[in-house]
Amino acid sequence: MKKIALIYGGISGGIAISAIMLGLRFSEDSDLLSSEFFGYLSMLVALSLVFIGVKKYRDEQKGGVIKFGPAFLAGLAIAVVAGVTYTFIWEIYSMSTNYAFIDNYSASMIEAKKASGLTGAVLEAEIADVKDMMANYRNPFFRLPLTFMEIFPVGFIVSLISAAVLRNPKMFPARG
- DSSP per-residue letters across 123-161: HHHHHHHHHHHHHHHTSHHHHHHHHHHHHHHHHHHHHHH
CB 12 within 8 A of CB 37: no
Ramachandran angles phi, psi of 35, nearest 5°: -80, 160
Q: How far is CA 85 from CA 8, 9, 90, 107, 109, in A?
A: 11, 8, 8, 28, 28
pLDDT at residue 31, as a whole number: 61
Q: What does the pLDDT read at residue 114? A: 84
Reference 48, options 16, 17, 19, 72; nearest CA is 16
Q: What is residue 29's predicted lDDT score, i.e. its pLDDT?
A: 53
Which pTM does this prediction carry?
A: 0.87
3-state secondary structure of 162: helix
Residue 34: what pLDDT? Answer: 56
Query: Residue 145's pLDDT is what?
Result: 96
Tell me which residues of the chain have a pLDDT lower than 70: 27-34, 176
φ, ψ for residue 26, nearest 5 deg: -105, 15
| Whole-number pLDDT of residue 67 | 96
The rounded distance, in Å, linking the Cα atoms of 90 and 14 is 10
**What's the pLDDT at 176?**
61
Q: Quick one: pLDDT at residue 30?
A: 52
